[in-house]
Copies of this chain bind each other. A is one copy, B any other.
Amino acid sequence: MRSRPLKVALLGCGVVGSEVARIMTTHADDLTARIGAPVELAGVAVRRPDRVREGISAELITTDATALVKRGDIDVVVEVIGGIEPARGLITTAFEHGASVVSANKALLAQEGAALHAAAEEHGRDLYYEAAVAGAIPLIRPLRESLAGDKVDRVLGIVNGTTNFILDKMDSTGAGYQEALDEATALGYAEADPTADVEGFDAAAKAAILAGIAFHTRVRLDDVYREGMTEVTAADFASARRMGCTIKLLAICERAADGASVTARVHPAMIPLTHPLASVREAYNAVFVEAEAAGRLMFYGPGAGGAPTASAVLGDLVAVCRNTLAGATGPGESAYTRLPVSPMGEVVTRYHISLDVADKPGVLAQVANVFADHGVSIDTVRQQGRDQGGVAASVEGGGGRREGGEASLVVVTHRASDAALTGTVEALRRLDTVRGVASIMRVEGE
């Protein structure tokens, strides 16, 4: 075993960074045995040097992150500051000065992954980022190594714990969105400004990373269709239950049926209660992977938090240190398929549409004609939580009546393209008899 320690520079010492430093200290002997050499914390770059950081020697603390990564004796830079800059510049500088990098930065990887991989390769260094997606859950490594001999067709996942907590609360207690968000905030699951989570930006970054790795192509954040979950209502959950479903905010990466393109998207969707993702509760994450030979796999665990994220960072740190000792590098970017990312319009799935319609004869026929005109096949039509009878009763045994001459129709379609569905909804809105489109939700996981 070599005695000169591998030197690690830690950029950022917040919730994750302090946990990384703590484990490096308390589990130093285990890390040494697993790596084959001691590993030493050589410097910690922070913004607020005066804050007390238990267990970290004061002389390791610096506010000059650039000088730290330029030192020249650093083997691995661990970047847990997040955001685009200064993280991007520091990582690039680290490669230039001979260090490998372990990052937990999903936003940066989603936006600049290709450039960072190129920089790593140019300098013969590693870029690992298991912690960037789904916290402690091993996902990047299984996708890029365990499934390296397989063909991934679909990745379907709950990759944001905050929104899963909120949706789980709405589902289990009947609470509305705001009430559930307030609880999530009070319990520390949601940040003061929850936008990145509830509007799906966080999940979209993860979807971009997962799609790129799964399909061996480049998928940027801008390629990911994104819809938040702030408009999901208690009524949507009631509708979902009637269909034997619940609602989750899903990141979905798919290979097109012809194999010639891929799609990546984030939006709330109904999934059957029998689907393994339906039972993922609270702030847990889970990712379902469908591969040609492997079949259906699921990876489940805590998707965030200091210790779980630190676990993923340290797993990468051990791997990068082993590679360093071996004079080798791990798998780099694999983007050889160069598959184009199709726009949302080409995504094919099922839809659950709630319409407020006039309660008079012929309405169902009108509505059904609009779907038919756009090539969208209807699976079922039914009443939504109103008295039996009305519009659709004579035709399909469903339909609902409101006392003031208005009724509610719920249409569930067979698989159709998003473009066809969008065209259908636009045409429905133009019908005099359609008073409003109460909600449109995709149905996944069937």
- Partner-B contacts on A (CB < 8 A): 19, 23, 27, 30-31, 33-34, 130, 136-138, 141-142, 145-151, 216, 276, 279, 291-302, 305, 307-308, 310-319, 322-323, 326-329, 331, 334, 336-337
A331 engages B322 (CB within 8 Å): yes
A290 to chain B, nearest CB (A): 10
B315 engages A145 (CB within 8 Å): yes
Contacts of A27 in B (CB 8 A): 149, 151
* Copies of this chain present: 2
* 17 A-B pairs in the complex with CB atoms less than 8 angstroms apart: A27-B149, A33-B334, A136-B297, A138-B138, A138-B142, A141-B142, A145-B315, A148-B319, A276-B300, A292-B307, A292-B311, A294-B302, A294-B311, A297-B300, A297-B301, A298-B299, A300-B300
Cα distance A298–B300 in the bound complex, in angstroms: 5
Cα distance A269–B146 in the bound complex, in angstroms: 30
Contacts of A147 in B (CB 8 A): 138, 311, 315
B295 engages A136 (CB within 8 Å): yes
A245 to chain B, nearest CB (A): 16
A216 engages B301 (CB within 8 Å): no
Contacts of A30 in B (CB 8 A): 151, 216
A141 engages B136 (CB within 8 Å): no
- With A33-B337, A34-B334, A150-B314 already in contact, 11 other A-B pairs whose C-beta atoms are closer than 8 Å: A23-B150, A23-B293, A138-B141, A146-B312, A148-B315, A276-B300, A295-B308, A299-B299, A300-B300, A322-B331, A323-B328
What 4 A-B pairs have minimum CB-CB distances, sorted nearest first?
A149-B314, A138-B146, A136-B294, A328-B328
A160 to chain B, nearest CB (A): 17
A325 to chain B, nearest CB (A): 9
Contacts of A137 in B (CB 8 A): 297
Contacts of A331 in B (CB 8 A): 322
Cα distance A30–B136 in the bound complex, in angstroms: 29
B138 engages A297 (CB within 8 Å): yes
Contacts of A292 in B (CB 8 A): 307, 311
Among A136, A146, A317, max chain B CB count under 10 A is at A146
B291 engages A296 (CB within 8 Å): no
Cα distance A315–B294 in the bound complex, in angstroms: 10
Residue of B nearest to A335 (CB): B33
A148 engages B293 (CB within 8 Å): no
B311 engages A150 (CB within 8 Å): yes
Cα distance A151–B27 in the bound complex, in angstroms: 9
Contacts of A307 in B (CB 8 A): 292-295
A141 to chain B, nearest CB (A): 5
A326 to chain B, nearest CB (A): 4
The verdict on A33 contacting B138 (CB below 8 Å), with A145-B315, A311-B291 known, is no
Cα distance A69–B138 in the bound complex, in angstroms: 34
A273 to chain B, nearest CB (A): 11
Residue of B nearest to A148 (CB): B318
A135 to chain B, nearest CB (A): 8
Contacts of A150 in B (CB 8 A): 23, 136, 311, 314-315
Residue of B nearest to A286 (CB): B298
Residue of B nearest to A306 (CB): B293
B149 engages A141 (CB within 8 Å): no
A210 to chain B, nearest CB (A): 15
Cβ-neighbour of A298 out of B142, B301, B314 (below 8 A): B301
Contacts of A142 in B (CB 8 A): 138, 141-142, 146
Cα distance A185–B44 in the bound complex, in angstroms: 60
Cα distance A127–B437 in the bound complex, in angstroms: 59
The verdict on A315 contacting B276 (CB below 8 Å), with A293-B310, A294-B307 known, is no
A214 to chain B, nearest CB (A): 13
B33 engages A293 (CB within 8 Å): no
